[in-house]
Amino acid sequence: MSMQDRPVLVTGGAGFIGSHVCRVLLDHGRTVRCLDSFVTGQRANISALVPNPGFHLLEADIRDLDACRHAVAGVESVVHLAALGSVPRSIDDPIASEAANLTGFLHVLEACRTHRVRRIVYASSSSVYGDSPASPKVEGQEGVPLSPYAVTKAMDEAYAGLYHRLFGLETIGLRFFNVFGEHQDPNGPYAAAIPRFIDRFLRHQPPVLNGDGRQTRDFTYVGNAVQAVECALATPQAEAFGGVFNIAYGRSTDLLTLVNMLREALQEHDPQVAQVPVEHGPERPGDVRNSLADVGRAHTVLGYEPGYAIEDGLKRAIPWYLAHLG
């Protein structure tokens, strides 16, 4: 079996980003092995993929080393997206975040080593920049982590680099910045800002901003994240291996501006949204104040070309939320 014909394993394949990656890989004719524990992943995200003969679902947990070894057997490459996301969740339960995000990742790396997997593309996070005052954020200028989640992602990067140097595994880390889009769950206490705000607006309830709302984020549409994964899987550049890359659009938006963008877009569907006010809550521990990515290295080494600005992404994502929440 040629390398191209061997399956790609996507851990967390029923999750937000993972389900999009699985679909695109299938569209490109690849065989996909999806591993998910459904702790945070949703079966609805992959229901349309299940009938595809090239899609194979494994229900297992990356905290189980034997399950990881079974999952990687015979695969050509791995896209590792399984994790317990959310800074607040990690502050509430650091042990759970460590078990999934660090020990689970080490299990995947070790399984890849023992089964001679060629390449692993894994999700890191903009949270690794911590208290760095630099703007934009540039690889190599990290600060002190501000949350257990950030610590786990920084350690993932360290382990991935080590496995490349010691064992020759082609590891590529993608530091995702505030990804949003279809399939992102608006429910639960750790929901991300954009789906949570949309859900509140559609219920005619005020979106709650932590702090003054002037904190900025480099909101990144999921289509950009998927393109980055594709670039990382395909790149022949040896410079990429053992490295990490910012994945974003390269433009910051403050939360008050974001809320106004959502209000304007949603009121075309529901005019009453125009009257919904905004509430302010206390600042959250562990939050980075401002976040803007320099994506130049990803462009130069991986060939990454983000095609969706925040406005483009919202145009694609909002109809999905209207269909599922309206």
**pLDDT surpassing 90 at residue 275:** yes
Percent of the chain with pLDDT over 70: 97
Q: Count how many residues are written for the chain.
A: 326
Report, as an integer, the average pLDDT of 40-56: 96
What is residue 130's predicted lDDT score, i.e. its pLDDT? 93
Q: Could you confirm whether 249 is annotated as catalytic? A: no
pLDDT tens string 128-158: 999 999 999 999 999 999 999 999 999 999 9
What is residue 152's predicted lDDT score, i.e. its pLDDT? 98
Q: What are phi and psi of 123, to 5 degrees?
A: -85, 120
Report, as an integer, the average pLDDT of 162-171: 98
Distance between CA 23 and CA 7 in Å, rounded? 14
Report, as an integer, the average pLDDT of 181-188: 86
Report, as an integer, the average pLDDT of 286-293: 85
Distance between CA 290 and CA 322 in Å, rounded? 29
DSSP code at position 248: S
Query: Could you tell me the pLDDT band of residue 200, with boundaries at 50, 70 and 90?
Result: very high
**pLDDT surpassing 90 at residue 284:** no
pLDDT tens string 225-268: 999 999 999 999 999 999 999 999 999 999 999 999 999 999 98
In sequence order, what DSSP letters do the residues of 95-155 get, joined into one string? Answer: HHHIIIIIIHHHHHHHHHHHTT--EEEEEEEGGGGTT---SSB-TT------SHHHHHHHH
Q: Are 40 and 46 in contact (CB under 8 A)?
A: no
Query: Could you tell me the pLDDT band of residue 204, with boundaries at 50, 70 and 90?
Result: very high
DSSP code at position 298: I
Query: Could you tell me the pLDDT band of residue 210, with boundaries at 50, 70 and 90?
Result: confident
Question: Does the CA dihedral 203-190-34-229 come out positive or negative?
Answer: positive
Distance between CA 79 and CA 120 in Å, rounded? 6
What is residue 1's predicted lDDT score, i.e. its pLDDT? 42
Torsion of CA 143, 165, 30, 235, to 10 degrees: 70
Which residues, at least 6 apart from 299, have a Cβ–Cβ distance to it below 8 Å?
A: 305
Q: Are 200 and 208 in contact (CB under 8 A)?
A: yes
What is residue 4's predicted lDDT score, i.e. its pLDDT? 57
Joined together, the tokens standing for residue 311 give 């406005």
**pLDDT surpassing 70 at residue 190:** no
Which of these is catalytic: 122, 129, 149, 249?
A: 149
Report, as an integer, the average pLDDT of 297-319: 96
Report, as an integer, the average pLDDT of 20-32: 97
pLDDT tens string 59-74: 999 999 999 999 999 9
Report, as an integer, the average pLDDT of 268-275: 92
Joined together, the tokens standing for residue 313 give 């992404």
| Amino acid at site 169 | L
Residue with tokens 């894994």: 122
Torsion of CA 293, 124, 19, 87, to 10 degrees: -90
Q: What are phi and psi of 180, to 5 degrees?
A: -140, 165
DSSP code at position 280: E
